Amino acid sequence: MITVLESPEARQTVHPLSVEFYHEAGRLGLIGEDVELLEGVLFKKMPESPLHQSLVRLLQRLLESVIPAACFVDRESPVTCVRSEPEPDLAVFAGAPEDFRHAHPATAELVIEIAINTRQRDLDKAAVCAGAGGKNTGSSSRRREHPRASRSLRRRVMDGGMTLPPATRR
């Protein structure tokens, strides 16, 4: 951990990175592909467990079977925002993949973060995605073993009509 950031005074003086700087630093090879920009701060991506990857694949297949033809599902695709460029585990975007040849999507119809060992971090990331224009956000936690989703997500995933049952308590 970077101990200098433990001080509230120090955190107030940290200069956040812009999305433009993040893109340029990546283009120049100054930062690796193992980081993402959240609220102006670079975060190292966490390794994914086999369970995490399995859940992502399962949800991707399910989503692809029910989303409207005017949308597509993508995995770890950047969503460019004002101060962030999160890469949610899964996202449903309006349009076709070829619509984004020159720029990453700026919004998503649905974003999903799966939390196996990094619950708070993934919940924080899902909140960044929601603030970035994700119309519906959801997270899954090993602790509850079922998706935790926004109220509107439980009622409907997309305006097109896919419905999910309300989350059940165990």
CA–CA distances in Å: residue 60 to residues 3, 29, 40: 39, 31, 29
Q: 0.75 cut: is pTM over it?
A: no
Residue 100 forms part of a structural domain: yes
pLDDT digits (tens, 9 = 90+) for 70-102: 999 999 999 999 999 999 999 999 999 999 999
Per the listing, tokens 């340029």 go with 24
Residue 29 forms part of a structural domain: no
Averaged pLDDT, 141-154: 38
- Which range has highest mean pLDDT (5-9, 10-14, 68-72, 156-160)? 68-72
- The answer, yes or no, to whether residue 144 has pLDDT greater than 60, is no
Q: Which domain holds residue 131?
A: 47-155
Which CATH number does the domain housing residue 121 bear?
3.90.1570.10
pLDDT digits (tens, 9 = 90+) for 104-118: 999 999 999 888 877
In Å, how far from its chain's centre is CA 53? Answer: 15
